[in-house]
Structure 1
């Protein structure tokens, strides 16, 4: 499932929720097996919009986006904060360096594209945009993208009710509103930080709608990979999975989840001579 943006001390600063941001490597194999991929149309558009094949994948995780970009003809270097995720990606053919992107040492290297799939909300938006501008070649493409779910009203209501029953004291219910609406503030923050660098053209959004069939068991596995799942007690998680499973059973044991994948993207302008 897409990682829902989760506030830390400030409502629009999920990058400060470090325990959650660094929890995904607890079961890297499950994460890679169950997380949704990204639509080919978006991957191909990013590759075509870059002036060359050299791509830096920020927060590359297990290499889901990196492998798709490799298949599209790109040469990809990943950067990730979690050595467990990095090891998994390396075993599958992705070169990865371990560091937070904001302080990662590029050692003078530059790239035709900087991308981040489902991870940029864990990066400081101001420092991240500045770093991306630093390592992109003129004309290079910054593309930050997220999968957002769009369950139908009946299923969304059932998921919301299951969440409330399992976690009545939770500070928020991630299914109480559409995921794309929840990400809206993040898209705005990211675009604003890109503009503020003065190094990019006007940010735009690329959107691709697609669907994914999920069985009950596959959906419960996917729920286990969310950032929030790693913060629940075993008892809370068991209640949540039971309720979510019952919701899927009620619609026949499987469902089709509509997705909208949204990319916030901009081109690096030529560097100004001083």
Structure 2
């Protein structure tokens, strides 16, 4: 699934939410310099935000289609799985991963991040989690129970950041196991964004298992979700939380 998101890189970049500027500012302020490595950079959504904050960013992504899109937007990208990527002696002040670290082995990834971080460098991995209004969440869950009864993750209304709690725990455990970082911190920023029916239906095919659904099944999902949004007036406000696991490199990691 990790390499399925490049099927429509333009739609992914256009519809996926960005990250709070306050989060970017906090990460940059807590790092010793401007050199950033973006793991699983995708189309460059968070990389462009860090560039706008004055950083020099190198992206690494396993999907050539996503990398090409990011390059067209002015980002330098190397195609590789992070675990296999060759840093060629380069080091960085910050290693970030937006909506991507769950595709990386948490221990091997944290160990490699420590190897390429300068002393005092920061590792920061983060996700956008979302929660629709309760009545919409229940209506959408009913659509998935009907159309995709064998997909248990969609059988109940989304419950805030709980969907990423286990991923955050694995990331934190991996950082601790790497043995090269100080205290692991978890940061959270809450925010909201309005969506029209068409805006949400445009985004939905870029998420999770939707990228690999048969066309007829995806259309059935979109029709049902669209009807649920229409029943609430054709628009809604999505509650987002950007959740982060972060730590500072205190000792060198072994090769």
TM-score band (shorter)? over 0.9
What does residue 89 of structure 1 align with?
A: 70
Q: Confirm whether residue 120 of structure 1 aligns to residue 84 of structure 2.
A: no
Number of aligned residue pairs: give it. Answer: 254
The whole-number CA distance in structure 1 between the counterparts of 2:31 and 2:239 is 28
Deviation at 1:170, TM superposition (A): 2.7
The whole-number CA distance in structure 2 between the counterparts of 1:86 and 1:108 is 22
Deviation at 1:229, TM superposition (A): 0.7
**Deviation sequence 1:174-212 (CA, Å, 0-9, x none):** 654415112111111110110011100111111111111
Report the RMSD for the aligned CA atoms in angstroms.
1.4
SS at match of 2:28: helix
* Contact residue 202 and residue 266 of structure 1 kept, 8 A: yes
What does residue 236 of structure 2 align with?
A: 255
The whole-number CA distance in structure 1 between the counterparts of 2:155 and 2:195 is 19
Q: Which runs of 5+ in 1 are unaligned?
A: 1-19
What does residue 98 of structure 1 align with?
A: 79
* Contact residue 160 and residue 241 of structure 2 kept, 8 A: no
* Contact residue 145 and residue 155 of structure 2 kept, 8 A: no
* Contact residue 43 and residue 69 of structure 2 kept, 8 A: yes
Deviation at 1:138, TM superposition (A): 0.7
The answer to which of 208-217 and 226-235 deviates more is 226-235
Deviation at 1:271, TM superposition (A): 3.2
Deviation at 1:270, TM superposition (A): 3.5
What does residue 197 of structure 2 align with?
A: 216
* Contact residue 23 and residue 227 of structure 1 kept, 8 A: no
The whole-number CA distance in structure 2 between the counterparts of 1:262 and 1:171 is 23
The whole-number CA distance in structure 2 between the counterparts of 1:132 and 1:271 is 10
The whole-number CA distance in structure 2 between the counterparts of 1:168 and 1:175 is 11
Taking the TM superposition and a 5 Å limit, the aligned residue runs for 1:1-274 are 20-173=1-154, 175-271=156-252
Task: Mark the CA change 1:63 to 1:83 in structure 2 (over 3 Å): closer, same or farther.
Answer: same
TM-score w.r.t. the length of structure 1 is 0.90
SS at match of 1:137: strand
The whole-number CA distance in structure 2 between the counterparts of 1:51 and 1:174 is 44
SS at match of 2:153: coil
SS at match of 1:140: strand
The whole-number CA distance in structure 2 between the counterparts of 1:60 and 1:157 is 33
The whole-number CA distance in structure 2 between the counterparts of 1:205 and 1:261 is 10
SS at match of 1:172: helix
The answer to which of 63-72 and 161-170 deviates more is 161-170
The whole-number CA distance in structure 2 between the counterparts of 1:113 and 1:24 is 25
The whole-number CA distance in structure 2 between the counterparts of 1:174 and 1:200 is 38
Task: Mark the CA change 1:220 to 1:59 in structure 2 (over 3 Å): closer, same or farther.
Answer: same
* Contact residue 21 and residue 227 of structure 1 kept, 8 A: no
The whole-number CA distance in structure 2 between the counterparts of 1:170 and 1:32 is 26
Deviation at 1:155, TM superposition (A): 1.4
TM-score w.r.t. the length of structure 2 is 0.96
The whole-number CA distance in structure 2 between the counterparts of 1:90 and 1:260 is 28
* Contact residue 77 and residue 95 of structure 1 kept, 8 A: yes
